[in-house]
Copies of this chain bind each other. A is one copy, B any other.
Amino acid sequence: MNKTDIISTRNMKRDFIEDILKRTKKMEPIAEAKKQVDILEGKTLATLFFEPSTRTKLSFMAAMNLLGGTIIGFDDPRTSSVKKGETLADTIRVVEGYANAIVMRHPNEGAAALAAKFSKVPIINGGDGSNQHPTQALLDLYTIIKEKGTLDGLEVTLAGDLKYGRTVHSLAYALSKFDASLVFSSPPSLRMPEWIVADIKAAGTPVKEINNIEVQSDVLYLTRIQKERFPDIEEYQKVASAYVLDGDAMEKLGKETMIMHPLPRVNEISAEVDKDKRAKYFIQSFYGVPTRMALLAMVMTDR
């Protein structure tokens, strides 16, 4: 089967990533102008969201619309036959007959990989449990390049919930393909999984672990720490406060440190930060459109 699935950044080659970033650059003016083209005219994307999503789902829809294609899908498994107990493999074998590609989000780790095994059409992983969110990592890379001009030679701090955060897993692997160095910053109970740290180090990427966000890195990538992860609320409050970026924390942050966040944020970045020129999370969110346009066009055409 000669198809391209986008499942994980773990095994992506640097060349492949660079190709996507180049394609994204071509898509950016179209996304910026919000002006439809006909690259995927007549093609259909299925969006299967077994879990809540706003920006991933809407940006894929917007990307597909801009490329001239059409969309089918569901965004609530309660309204689909999953409710009746259908297996993912069966759902995929049915939906592949209806669409040219499938984007899916699923609560189970490995769900997208399983789907790719069963599907004749390309599968794009829109998030599988705590495992991977590769299209997010690609738009993250694109954002860094846009702002910093390169990925090589940068120090990137990933902070917050590194244990369950699929975006930081995908981004860590993606950055390990470049000459970046990584800082993992988290409460002890939410450290980056050992096997990921081992993989990253094995790739030759320098890794440092800290537990605060007073960094001078080129990039500070914050993620949300969820209350539910902690057995008692006191413990949560103690550690979470160290990962809140407010006016005070901004004072201690590097003057050229760009701030990223996959969004949604709850209270880990104060509203006062939004106007700081280092805050890049909204433009980052916008880059989801050209990145996903590039991915959709790549997997659904021979171009």
A positions within 8 Å CB-CB of B: 34-36, 41-44, 46, 49, 52-55, 57-59, 61-62, 65-66, 70-76, 78-86, 89-91, 93-95, 97-100, 224, 263-266, 271, 282, 285-286, 289
Contact = CB atoms under 8 A, between A and B. Distances in A.
B98 A263 contact: no
Copies of this chain, tallied across the complex: 3
Contact of A81 (B34, B43, B55, B91): B55
Given A53-B80, A79-B76, A264-B85, A66 B94 contact: no
B90 A264 contact: yes
B99 A81 contact: no
Contact of A86 (B57, B70, B265): B265
Contacts of A35: 42
Given A53-B80, A81-B264, A94-B282, 19 more contacts: A34-B43, A36-B43, A53-B79, A53-B81, A54-B94, A58-B98, A61-B73, A62-B98, A62-B99, A65-B72, A74-B75, A75-B79, A76-B76, A76-B78, A84-B224, A89-B271, A97-B282, A97-B289, A98-B289
A49 B100 CA distance: 24
Contacts of A61: 72-73, 98
Contact of A52 (B70, B78, B95, B224): B78
A104 to B, nearest CB: 13
B81 A266 contact: no
A86 B44 contact: no
A52 B264 contact: no
